[in-house]
Structure 1
């Protein structure tokens, strides 16, 4: 590699299972920061900062961090998901917003017979339903109803707040949800059943952990508001048998966990990057806590919160270490437990069927909601067992535009030529045209066809009468879900 110019742009990487998107960026920066390839970018950034104002330099000194290669991603993937994660480097981060609007292709495994609080196998079981009647023919017929423009209800965890309050807090307090969760209009451009797994022929499993009574009540209330045809009598025997004393004990335990978490700080929020300092100061002064959520869980599992926490002293030492060299190397990794095939399956007999389905969808589509809704359509319930994003815009797996994560770990001599070629291709394709007017740049090309000017807004119920303007604004922000 002979080039010494500043390299910037966009490339894709194949995110592994069990890793947060934020951790992928941290791992990439750890490789890029000391590399020869990005030394010109680091040098250029140092020169820029040298001529900054005194106030800007003072703010940077307070952070106490060395210069790192600027990076971001164009749409997060949960730890459970694998596949294309688009990364922007340097000025390429300014183009990432366009990837949130392009179409994406996913391959998912739908496992029938059980539903969880997260709609996937990383959550806790809310209910089980009969599945023996499900056949390949029935699945083929059911998926036909999901093609084209449909309305989706985001997963329970995505509707983070209602009137400024997390949904699971309503469950713990035994209060009804103030209003219906709004739907959003999305489009399924392509849908194909790739493989149907007969009962007893696959390795996919339901989770073994059961949801508590408060979570089960919340789910039943939400599903009832959504009009889904789920018989509450079909909930798991554990929730049906809960006595009033057990419910009180569950709520008391949840309250204790919430209190304990107020004195803990999460190392990695897994789904979101670290909140701003201003937000953290507000939470500290108001007594609020930011509960870590694993793969979008309805509420933080105690063991996850404890593993993710660290003392204030440890965090201060880590913050003052250049480039976080002494930080825990395992944070952000191994966030999804592997299926232990040595254990007996959580069912009797052959168990449920499963299906591998490929979907090409527009922005805002929730694959796990599709899996949940497909189970309901078949007169049962279902969860998402696996998820792979095989394409986002022009970036596809198993092509030169997407780097394998394992190559990143093999050293600069392996990843540098590949990333350099990707960034050069990006620059050639998206650099401003000579014929364009000064100050104008080309839009990032996507695979989407021009849409009519008319845009249908998601259906959103009215905010409760008398709500303050601040509450209304917080409500609006809370409906922004995350990408699958």
Structure 2
């Protein structure tokens, strides 16, 4: 397992796609999700474990001929060539929530400040099932939980406050001035899109937006990322003694860029810790 591996918690929304693969981009497509079940989603997550090939998103900070990819996109300049795909490792991919009445959301979601009202507000503790780290196994005992899961008491109050300021603004992007920009519709009563949360343990350089979009394609629909939080890297866990300060971000695209840019800091801390 790579020493620079990372653990993220992400919120996904199936049924909509955007230019940036997150909720701040312009609407590209809308497709039904009625055919998707929890079992099909769990099977799809298994497919994406291990070594996979990813094509980085156009709205990313990668360089091509001395220019950032997102600059090509924002300026409407065609790319000199196709974005090359690359191999990444998905060490773990777990479903933390699913919008049905029989699934109890993983307690780490509340601990890290994720909003669950659009996902599983009707799930009850008694008789509910909890999805454990194996991905496919469902625990049906009332009080039996994944022992490796971070619970609400494991995260300090200051980290929960920090999570609130870190949480990006949804559905709007003040940096987009394109008159053709179409915002992603917010969730409404009767909304046919499907929300769920996943925990991703992956190698450095993995794009969670791309992973979610690829999972959606595998399921026969489209999807995008609506929230993202890195909770662990190189043995340091958010809420633990070595937590780094999170800065407020107003754009999910910049959130992921900031996460990628912070890799060097984490690696340096890991090196110092090993010494």
Query: What TM-score range do you get, normalising by the shorter chain?
Result: 0.5 to 0.7
Q: Is 1:198–1:353's contact at 8 Å kept on the other side of the alignment?
A: no
Gapped regions of structure 1 (runs ≥ 5): 1-99, 205-293, 304-338, 407-428, 431-441, 447-484
Query: Cα gap change, 1:198/1:142 in structure 2, threshold over 3 Å: closer, same or farther?
Result: same
Match of 1:78 in 2: none
Q: 1:301 aligns with which of 176, 182, 195?
A: 176
Query: Cα gap change, 1:198/1:113 in structure 2, threshold over 3 Å: closer, same or farther?
Result: farther
Q: Is 1:159–1:181's contact at 8 Å kept on the other side of the alignment?
A: no
Distance 1:106 1:169 in 2: 27
Q: 1:167 aligns with which of 72, 94, 117?
A: 72
Whether 2:271 is the aligned partner of 1:445: answer no
Distance 2:96 2:31 in 1: 24
Distance 1:131 1:102 in 2: 35
- 1:122-201 mapped onto 2 (5 Å cutoff): 122-158=24-60, 162-163=64-65, 166-168=71-73, 172=76, 177-198=79-100
Gapped regions of structure 2 (runs ≥ 5): 102-115, 120-168, 179-183, 248-268
Runs of 4+ in 1 over 4 A off after TM superposition: 159-166, 297-300, 344-348, 403-406
Match of 2:195 in 1: 354
Match of 1:18 in 2: none
Q: Is 2:11–2:227's contact at 8 Å kept on the other side of the alignment?
A: yes
Structure number with bigger Rg: 1
Match of 2:209 in 1: 368
Whether 2:108 is the aligned partner of 1:203: answer no
Where 1:185 maps in the other structure, the secondary structure is: strand
Distance 1:393 1:399 in 2: 13
| Aligned Cα root-mean-square deviation (Å) | 4.0
Shift, 1:366, TM fit: 0.6
Where 2:231 maps in the other structure, the secondary structure is: strand
Where 1:203 maps in the other structure, the secondary structure is: helix
Distance 2:6 2:15 in 1: 27
Query: Cα gap change, 1:376/1:106 in structure 2, threshold over 3 Å: closer, same or farther?
Result: same
Q: Is 1:190–1:359's contact at 8 Å kept on the other side of the alignment?
A: yes
Shift, 1:350, TM fit: 3.9
TM-score under structure 1 normalisation?
Answer: 0.33
Match of 1:384 in 2: 225
* Bigger share in strand: 2
Query: Cα gap change, 1:405/1:153 in structure 2, threshold over 3 Å: closer, same or farther?
Result: closer
* Bigger share in helix: 1
TM-score under structure 2 normalisation?
Answer: 0.55
